[in-house]
Structure 1
């Protein structure tokens, strides 16, 4: 059994910050759950390009408003509270946050916990 409170993650190595986001990684690869679970904050007024070449991601918005643009076809998907989007095709995309957003993100395979996006917006694949 694993029980973790967000307050235990804050200020630890599992709280990872990027230019437009802060990811609090509640479950990571070393927890042996087959996925990683993140409580992520996105700063309002920002755009973040991402492309998870090696991971699938599901994102559930619990606060805020924005949109996801899939770059392959320029489709625009409105995202607001109680909306989930799943990047099931390793979609290269941009997340545009109109307001501060709070998301619950699930990655498969799981992240190790210290990853940051590279120049392509990708997390590296690690054993």
Structure 2
């Protein structure tokens, strides 16, 4: 059994802050945990407006708190995000995420992240990054 708490994880090397200042993510469950997916609690800072394109991963995102929107670039559709909203990037959707206020999100990635990933120039995570030890 694996048991971790968010407060302790936030005070460890499991907390990753984006170089561009848009988000921070506490990686609660990672590839080395051998569950087949990774689980993160991510904060999107108020005013963030950035493009992502997870070419190597599928992601599900559940909004715990805050408000914003996600825009799919293939069709220009905008979807409101608020507490209780789940959105799923099931087609490697190229998208823009906007935070009208700080948003707290629970995120699941498949394949799982190793732990140190930050977005590359395309807005994607590479398949392999340096792992974080428990």
Could you state the TM-score of these two structures normalised by the residue count of structure 2? 0.92
Q: 2:53 aligns with which of 51, 56, 74?
A: 51
Corresponding position of 1:67: 69
Q: Aligned runs of 1:89-108 on 2, under 5 Å? A: 89-108=91-110
Task: Give the distance between the partners of 1:12 and 1:120, measured in 2 at CA.
Answer: 28
Q: Deviations over 1:87-107 (max 9, x none)?
A: 000000000000000000000
SS at match of 1:82: coil
Q: Does 1:9 align with 2:9?
A: yes
Task: Give the distance between the partners of 2:55 and 2:10, measured in 1 at CA.
Answer: 28
Could you state the TM-score of these two structures normalised by the residue count of structure 1? 0.97
Gaps of 5+ in 2: 130-134
Corresponding position of 1:76: 78
Q: Does 1:88 align with 2:90?
A: yes
What value does the CA root-mean-square deviation take over the aligned residues?
1.0
Q: Aligned runs of 1:17-56 on 2, under 5 Å? A: 17-18=17-18, 19-56=21-58
Q: CA deviation at 1:8?
A: 1.7
- Number of positions where the alignment pairs a residue of Structure 1 with one of Structure 2: 127
Task: Give the distance between the partners of 1:46 and 1:7, measured in 2 at CA.
Answer: 24
